[in-house]
Structure 1
Amino acid sequence: MPRSERRECPRRSTCGTDCGMSGSSSRQSLNPALRSTSSRRSSWRTDMDLNGKTAVITGAAGGIGLGIARACLKKGMQIVIADLDAGRVAETAAQLRDTGGDVTHIGCDVRSIEQVQQLRAEAVAAYGGVDLVCNNAGVGLSRPIAETTAADWELLIDVNIRGVVNGIQTFLPLMIEQRSGHINATSSMSGLVGDPGLVVYNATKFAVTGMMEALAQELAVEHPNLSASVLCPGPVATDLMSTSEKQLADAGSGATSNEAIAAYLAAGLSPDDVGQICIDGIRNGRFWLLTHPELTWEIMDPRYAAMKNGQLYSHSEAWTDQR
């Protein structure tokens, strides 16, 4: 990808940091902090034109990943979609191309750093660089902790945590070189509060939330022309439970899908709505991308109050009844 000549920052000799002005790229930064002062005064809204930029989305053959892909295409972006199910992601890509989208696809197991590196190579070969990475691939599990197996823990840690780590470690160096880019990851409301029967899932999603918050803080200091965000969905009408059940079976877990959770998800938001919330939030400089803000704060406010008193927060109704 062509790069413009380096420009020395006039303040570097006094501030002692590389703020990103010492070099530039044809790619406009997705970090709202680097927009004009007038933009910063207006609630960090960037109103950035995403047209022509490149997004990479994992777990994008269906569900939230597909919703994000469609939202990116609506903004005029070109996209690279990846999924463990190579056949399904190829079909999804064909459908998106039929609507006029500029789409590249690849089968990718995010547990494998080599496969994620190949994903990066495909994206760079197709479009010259990457502006946005959405680490969305994930696995769900509902099982009391006393019944969980080593296979349960290994699979969810490898996909939900290691998959995000692999995405960050693979694409962050490219974005540092570009001096622009945004990294997003899909966590969950279960990455904000613990739920009975979801201990393994909670543990991995809490890890994603903390990882992305720390990454965003680090980028703000070390690479302020880069940024990060975390998507924390509530109930979304996806096939997460059925796709997860297959992966759990392949891993030797023995866990089966939970009908109550399947019904809970089926009554949720559409993946397209969630994808729009995600991309609009990134475009407008948000870190916390919440699909159900009222429900989130209905839970989080009393949780914080309980924390102040050193108490365990418990919601008055089962989490599968919360909307």
Structure 2
Amino acid sequence: MTTANDQITGKVVIITGASSGLGEATARRLSERGAKLVLAARREDRLVKLTEELKANGGEAIWQTTDVTDRKQVEALAKIAKDTFGRIDVLVNNAGLMPLAPLDALKVDEWDQMVDVNIKGVMYGIAAVLPIMREQHSGHVINLSSVAGHKVFPGAAVYCATKYAVRALSEGLRMEAGDEIRSTNISPGAIATELTSTITDPTAAEAAEELYKVAIDADAVARAIVYAIEQPHDVDINEIILRPTAQEL
């Protein structure tokens, strides 16, 4: 009889934004379950440290510095994954930014950053792995949206817009993928990560600090990702929303 663990052991998983937060927590969980990991982020020192730690604990992992706003770098990431392990089973599109601010603050450069990372980064990831998954007749794309992709918050209009877009991309991929490629959209609420560190607007930072007082550990999201991956191939977990129990919004 096939166990849930067998659905993860040996799978080749690319994780963007793997140097901290949700990406790091997911890498640790999947490594414990026997996945072969390709870890991507901009901070090389953290990637090296995490990769070495996972390997020292018996895991199999490689790393590649990657800026998801650069399509060529994302394509190179997919290439090294396939060249090293022969296939790509799962892409976890996790890299993201959340520099919240009211529209009146006119932080247009930050809007551009969010569009580039949160939307284009996801699209570039899909574009890089989809032909490989089509060729091997299997695959799974997991996109990290947010509760902000389901509800618009004052001071977060642009961020919410990017996360709504991620949901649309996830659902569009699901509809077009047929019966060979799975699509999962995961929407976390307040999670204890570095995400709030990108907020430069004082009012927005104060509001985020208040909300994140109830933040839960990043491993909660990692467990949700593991749950989606470990399902049999004919089961597609399309949408997961998770929040701290104490989060009202």
TM-score (ref. length: structure 1): 0.70
Mapped partners of 1:212, 1:93: distance in 2 = 28
Match of 2:229 among 282, 293, 298: 282
Match of 2:243 among 276, 292, 309: 292
Q: After TM superposition, where is structure 1 displaced by more than 6 Å over at least 4 residues in a row?
A: none
The change in CA–CA distance for 1:259 and 1:108 in structure 2 (over 3 A counts) is same
Q: Is the 1:236–1:266 Cα contact (8 Å) retained in structure 2?
A: no
1:144 is aligned to 102
Mapped partners of 1:263, 1:92: distance in 2 = 31
Is it true that 1:186 corresponds to 2:144 in the alignment? Answer: yes
1:268 is aligned to 215
Aligned length: 243
Matches within 5 A, 1:37-52: 49-52=7-10
- State the Cα distance separating 1:147 from its structure 2 match: 0.7
Mapped partners of 1:198, 1:50: distance in 2 = 36
Mapped partners of 1:163, 1:77: distance in 2 = 23
Deviations along 1:245-270, one digit per CA (max 9) or x if unpaired, are 5xxxxxxxx64671441353353221
2:28 is aligned to 70
Mapped partners of 1:186, 1:55: distance in 2 = 15
> Runs of 5+ in structure 2 lacking a partner?
none
Mapped partners of 1:281, 1:167: distance in 2 = 19
The change in CA–CA distance for 1:266 and 1:94 in structure 2 (over 3 A counts) is farther
Q: Is the 1:57–1:136 Cα contact (8 Å) retained in structure 2?
A: yes
Q: Is the 2:8–2:229 Cα contact (8 Å) retained in structure 1?
A: no
> Runs of 5+ in structure 1 lacking a partner?
1-44, 246-253, 296-320
Q: Is the 1:84–1:107 Cα contact (8 Å) retained in structure 2?
A: yes
Letter of the 1:227 partner, please give it. R
72-81 or 254-263, larger mean C-alpha shift: 254-263
Letter of the 1:156 partner, please give it. M
85-94 or 151-160, larger mean C-alpha shift: 85-94
Matches within 5 A, 1:14-53: 49-53=7-11
Query: Secondary structure of 2:143's match?
Result: strand
- State the Cα distance separating 1:293 from its structure 2 match: 9.1
Query: Secondary structure of 1:241's match?
Result: helix
% identity of equivalent residues = 31
- State the Cα distance separating 1:201 from its structure 2 match: 0.5
181-190 or 144-153, larger mean C-alpha shift: 144-153
Mapped partners of 1:154, 1:58: distance in 2 = 19
Say what the alpha-carbon RMSD is for the aligned residues: 2.2
Mapped partners of 2:125, 2:212: distance in 1 = 26
Is it true that 1:153 corresponds to 2:111 in the alignment? Answer: yes
Q: Is the 2:214–2:244 Cα contact (8 Å) retained in structure 1?
A: no
Is it true that 1:230 corresponds to 2:185 in the alignment? Answer: yes
Match of 2:80 among 110, 122, 131: 122
Query: Secondary structure of 2:191's match?
Result: coil
Query: Secondary structure of 1:258's match?
Result: helix
Letter of the 1:78 partner, please give it. K
2:157 is aligned to 199
Q: Is the 1:183–1:228 Cα contact (8 Å) retained in structure 2?
A: yes
1:15 is aligned to none
Q: Is the 2:150–2:164 Cα contact (8 Å) retained in structure 1?
A: yes
Q: Is the 1:137–1:163 Cα contact (8 Å) retained in structure 2?
A: yes
Deviations along 1:45-85, one digit per CA (max 9) or x if unpaired, are 98862111110000010101112112211221110110021
Deviations along 1:188-233, one digit per CA (max 9) or x if unpaired, are 000011011101100100000111111111113xxx1111111100
1:322 is aligned to 248
Query: Secondary structure of 1:91's match?
Result: helix
- State the Cα distance separating 1:239 from its structure 2 match: 1.2
- In terms of fraction of residues, the more strand-rich structure is 2
TM-score (ref. length: structure 2): 0.90
Look at both structures and tell me which one has the larger radius of gyration over its CA atoms. Answer: 1
Is it true that 1:240 corresponds to 2:201 in the alignment? Answer: no
Mapped partners of 2:206, 2:41: distance in 1 = 25
Mapped partners of 1:113, 1:273: distance in 2 = 30
